[in-house]
Each structure stands twice: as structure tokens, then as C-alpha cells.
């Protein structure tokens, strides 16, 4: 329950290099954050990224990971900015390359805000998505990934090239204002957009309280938004799951049922979709170009999803 309510997990205060499950804080990103950028090593010493990485890559024939020019800049606005989430994604048997090296650079994204999405995730929480909001400024992080890392990230976001539906789709934003920590700017970047849209209650969407910046929507914590959506979607539940979850009381009981019962999770998400969500769009007059690159825009479980599914409706997320 605590992890669901803690979403999007631990606070991240500055840019860092993620290597094989470990976080190394940048002192300077230099001309190339994967070469002459400087980080603090395990002993607290300031070293170049190139010297840190030498010997850390166990793959045969590889001495150094790709430089920045060979990487895709992907906006991380929810859990993907957190080292604990990256550790789950880039370790274990599902990431069989055996090593990862990802610069995670703090940035400010203009005219977009980070809001709570309109679907219940497997943990029982409402994940994050972005939406256009003229005048907003949001603290985000840019994860610069090579092709292998990007393919793994696609899989964790529910993108399956053979599936007619997915949780998120992968898009390119052009003519966008992204200012990296240190002053450099990006005019285009990639982003995962939730296919379920932003949760909407009483005509309002809600920015994540844990994301710094100046959003247009009111900021709400995970617990606050779950509490707002609970009366919209909850129905009487019986059986073993309810008995187990009743002991938690309050919003934790609600989260527990959402987590334990995939069919109830589907039903609750459908209720949000029926009139409490706002789809992603970018107005033409903004001059920002939005292009879907990969993944279906239809919400639902991808075929590769191996988690608990509702037996009566296994394709529904």
C-alpha cells in the first residue's frame, strides 16, 4: 500500500547517471554527459563519466556505451525519473543485455503539466501522464537511452508492436521548449503518453504534488486523488480480497482491492473512462507538433503483459 501511495517514489533533486542499478550524481554534464561529464563515484571522488564507465560494461566487445549523439532524449515525468523504478526495469532476466548506462538530466518543460492518469495501475495507484497547459512549467528529467534501453523501456510501458492496444504510446514532440539543467535547450524530445488520458473530477485535472513547477491544474497528492476518485468508481466487493483488505481501513483498503483484484481494477478504470477522463491533445495554434512513433493509442493490456489479468476480460487494462 505504501508504495502505491508514495508514487512516483523517491524525490530526485538533480541530474544523475544511472549505471547497472546505481546512481551517480552529476557535478557537470560537460560537452557530452556520457564522456567528459563529471560525476561522484562510490568514494565521493569527482571523476569523468568515461573513467567511471571503463570496466563497468561486462558485454563482450563493448568498451564504452553510446555517446549522447547516439541516444534518444525521452521525457521522464513520473516514476521513470526515480532510480528505484529504473532499477526494476533495467535489471533481472527481462533485460538480458546485463548492463545499462542512462544519463538522467533534470530539465524544465514549458506549456505542459504532469497530471494523474485515468487508470488504476497494478500497484493500485493512479500513474502519471502529461497534458498540454499553456503557461505551465514542469520539472521533468530527460532519460537519454540507447536503442536497447529504449526497447526495454517500451516493453515496460506496455508497447507491443503486435498488439492492437497498450497502456502508453510513444510520441515525438517538436517545436517544444525543454531547458536542461545548465541552460542547454532541446527543441524536440520523445515522451510516453497514457492512452487513458488524465483523470478528471468536476471538470478539473490534477497535477502531481510531487512534481515541482508551476502547473495550471491544482496539485494533489496520490492519496488525495485516490480519495477523490473512490466514490466515483467503488462498488460493493465481497470475497477473500475484501476480507484481507478491510483490515487496512480508509484509502488503503481501496488501494488493496484495486491491487489484489484485477477484475475490480478493470471495472474501476472503466468507470473513470466513462466520464472522468480527458484525452491528450495539442492545439494547432500552439505550433507544437505531436507525432505518434510507436504503440497503439487504444487503451488496454498489451499481449505481452504477464501480470494478473481479469479472466472475464483479459485484454482490459
List of domains in the chain: 2-220+277-294 (3.10.490.10)
pLDDT digits (tens, 9 = 90+) for 268-302: 999 999 999 999 999 999 999 999 999 999 999 99
* Phi-psi category of residue 7: left, alpha or beta, with phi > 0 → left and psi -120 to 50 → alpha: beta
- Which sign, positive or negative, has the C-alpha torsion 216, 219, 121, 273? negative
Residue 60: per-residue pLDDT: 60
CA atoms of 128 and 214, how far apart (whole Å): 16
Q: What is the DSSP string of 36-55?
A: T-EEE-TTS-EEEHHHHHTT
Q: Whole-prediction pTM value?
A: 0.95
Pairing of strands 219-220, 207-208: parallel
Q: How many residues does the chain have?
A: 317
The answer to whether residues 293 and 150 touch, using CB atoms and an 8 Å cutoff, is: no
| Positions in the chain whose pLDDT score sits under 70 | 1, 58-62, 240
Residue 243: per-residue pLDDT: 78
Amino acid at each position: 500500500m505504501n508504495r502505491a501511495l508514495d508514487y512516483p517514489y523517491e524525490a530526485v533533486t538533480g541530474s544523475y547517471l544511472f549505471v547497472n542499478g546505481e546512481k551517480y550524481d552529476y557535478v557537470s554534464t560537460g560537452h557530452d554527459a556520457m564522456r567528459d561529464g563529471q560525476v561522484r563515484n562510490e568514494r565521493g571522488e569527482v571523476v569523468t563519466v568515461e573513467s567511471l564507465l571503463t570496466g563497468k560494461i561486462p558485454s563482450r566487445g563493448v568498451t564504452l556505451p553510446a555517446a549522447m549523439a547516439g541516444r534518444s532524449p525521452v521525457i521522464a515525468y513520473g516514476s521513470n525519473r526515480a532510480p528505484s523504478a529504473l532499477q526494476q526495469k533495467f535489471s533481472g532476466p527481462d533485460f538480458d543485455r546485463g548492463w545499462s548506462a542512462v544519463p538522467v538530466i533534470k530539465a524544465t518543460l514549458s506549456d505542459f503539466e504532469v497530471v494523474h492518469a485515468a487508470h488504476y495501475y497494478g500497484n493500485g495507484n493512479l500513474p502519471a501522464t502529461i497534458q498540454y497547459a499553456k503557461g505551465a512549467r514542469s520539472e521533468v528529467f530527460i532519460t537519454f537511452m540507447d536503442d536497447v534501453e529504449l526497447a526495454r523501456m517500451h516493453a515496460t510501458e506496455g508497447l507491443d508492436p503486435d498488439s492492437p492496444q497498450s497502456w502508453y504510446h510513444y510520441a515525438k514532440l517538436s517545436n517544444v521548449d525543454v531547458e536542461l539543467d545548465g541552460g542547454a535547450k532541446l527543441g524536440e524530445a520523445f515522451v510516453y503518453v497514457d492512452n487513458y488520458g488524465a483523470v478528471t473530477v468536476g471538470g478539473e485535472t490534477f497535477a502531481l504534488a510531487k512534481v515541482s513547477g508551476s502547473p495550471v491544474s491544482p496539485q494533489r497528492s496520490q492519496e488525495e486523488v485516490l480519495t477523490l476518485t473512490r466514490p466515483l468508481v467503488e462498488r460493493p466487493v465481497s470475497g477473500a480480497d475484501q476480507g484481507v483488505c478491510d483490515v487496512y481501513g480508509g484509502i488503503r483498503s481501496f488501494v488493496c482491492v484495486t491491487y489484489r483484484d484485477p477484475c475490480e481494477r478493470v471495472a474501476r478504470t472503466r468507470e473513470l473512462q466513462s466520464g472522468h477522463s480527458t484525452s491528450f491533445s495539442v492545439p494547432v495554434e500552439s505550433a507544437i507538433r505531436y507525432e505518434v512513433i510507436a504503440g497503439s493509442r487504444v487503451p488496454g493490456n498489451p499481449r505481452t503483459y504477464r501480470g494478473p489479468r481479469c479472466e472475464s476480460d483479459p485484454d482490459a487494462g
